[in-house]
Structure 1
Amino acid sequence: MLDFSQYKTVLFDCDGVILDSNRIKTQAFYQTALPYGEEFATRLVEYHVGHGGISRYVKLKYFLTDILNQPPSENLFNDLVHTYAAHVMEGLLQAQVEPSLETLRCTFPDASWGVVSGGDQNELRQVFREKGIADWFQIGIYGSPDTKEMILSQLLRAGSPASSILFIGDSRYDYEVAQAYDLDFVFVSQWSEFEGGLDFFRDQSIPCIRALEQLVRANPGPFC
């Protein structure tokens, strides 16, 4: 099992890692597209699930141009974004926080934590404040409209060398971003919507865990 203590910096994806929110966002995409018909709503959900970790802005633009085959419309796009955000915020405020997250935070008090998410940055920060976990992430809570690549570029310029950073995610995209910046990666499966994810990551010899509890058990230390 991974020696978690070797990392000075730990970066987390949010949906499916910190929060049990993947299904919430999948349902929000479906409800947002449903006024255009069940077929179009289903196609958006399929695109969303197949592109986990990418921002809503990319997915809703794809819905307009590639699924509805409509010319770009700023007003329609903004309406879709606002509708989706309303569905998501209601669900995120009720989403479960990963049960072992606080214990992991206490077990490694000297590690600096940050969030690198495809979710809307302002939305994430509000939800984390409401849930009382914002202060656990000293590096910051980052999300769209910046891409994960943009966020990581900024963080690496500002601080730790890549060799001391661990990225914990639940999607292929998370892994590809970590790989692009030479970061170690751990795949968390319990809430992931990446079909075939365990087989994919095992083939890549990437550490896989079901939940963060496994990191706590494998790396005993001080507890809260």
Structure 2
Amino acid sequence: MSKDLKLIKVIFWDFDGVLMDSNAVRDLGFEKVLEEFPKEQVERLLNFHKANGGLSRYVKFRYFFEEIRNEAITEDQILLWAERFSIIMKNLLVNPNLLINETLDFVRQNQEKYRMHITSGSDQEELRYLCKSMSIENLFESIHGSPKPKKQWVKELIDSHDYNINECVLIGDSVNDLEAAQFNGIHFYGYNNNNLTVYNTNLFKFL
């Protein structure tokens, strides 16, 4: 890891695009679950989804119906759409070939050096199912996802473990990951997204 992070003791990992090359599959999932709606509306959602990779599907489905379709939607309806999406994701993502070996090899080689958690915008139940199905859940101290926002999970983990924020870093591939790190006053390293450099962030490199 970069010498700039030599004092780091805790790593919060994003999942999609960082530990798993799943972003394109997530795109396909939204296309499939919303295939009954006009393509132009689904395309607008996909643009929002790609620009806000760290946000949960619950936020994205609400955005689709309220902001794009100008329709009211209840929490129960959002949960139903999220469950439909999750069924598609479980079928498509249990694929070890999608795992990003570079980051997972780093995790395996440094389990004794860092305390590591997954904090993702993906659905928590689905995320834990995927990690267990591909035998990587034991690489992390804990695995957390939506509907609780990423920034809240990071805060709760810092508080519950009494972590020193100066010794924590969040590694992610979206501006939402950067915002979660900034919200909690911890370090941030971008990964797999050169566009993050416009925010004056460093990119995570393996040495």
Report the TM-score when normalising by structure 1.
0.84
The question of 1:208 aligning with 2:203 is answered: yes
What displacement does 1:102 show? 3.9
For residue 33 of structure 2, give the secondary structure of its aligned residue in structure 1. Answer: helix
What residue is the counterpart of 2:107 in the other structure?
A: 105
Q: Note the 1:1-224 alignment, pairs <5 A.
A: 2-3=2-3, 4-74=5-75, 76-94=77-95, 96-108=98-110, 109-138=112-141, 140-159=142-161, 160-189=163-192, 192=193, 197-201=195-199, 204=200, 206-209=201-204, 214-215=205-206, 218=207
Alpha-carbon separation, structure 1, partners of 2:191 and 2:17: 8
Unaligned 5+ segments in structure 2 are: none
Alpha-carbon separation, structure 1, partners of 2:191 and 2:130: 21
For residue 15 of structure 1, give the secondary structure of its aligned residue in structure 2. Answer: coil
User: Which amino acid letter does the alignment assign opposite residue 97 of structure 1?
Assistant: L
What displacement does 1:75 show? 5.5
Alpha-carbon separation, structure 2, partners of 1:148 and 1:128: 18
Deviation by residue 1:153-199 (Cα, 9 ceiling, x = unmatched): 1111112111111110000110111112121111112xx4xxx6144
Percent identity at matched positions?
26
What residue is the counterpart of 1:222 in the other structure?
A: none
Alpha-carbon separation, structure 1, partners of 2:73 and 2:108: 48
Alpha-carbon separation, structure 1, partners of 2:74 and 2:140: 37
Unaligned 5+ segments in structure 1 are: 219-224
- Shift in alpha-carbon separation, 1:28–1:207, aligned structure 2, 3 A: same
User: Which amino acid letter does the alignment assign opposite residue 60 of structure 1?
Assistant: F
- The answer (yes or no) to whether the contact 2:12–2:154 under 8 Å persists in 1 is no
For residue 36 of structure 2, give the secondary structure of its aligned residue in structure 1. Answer: helix
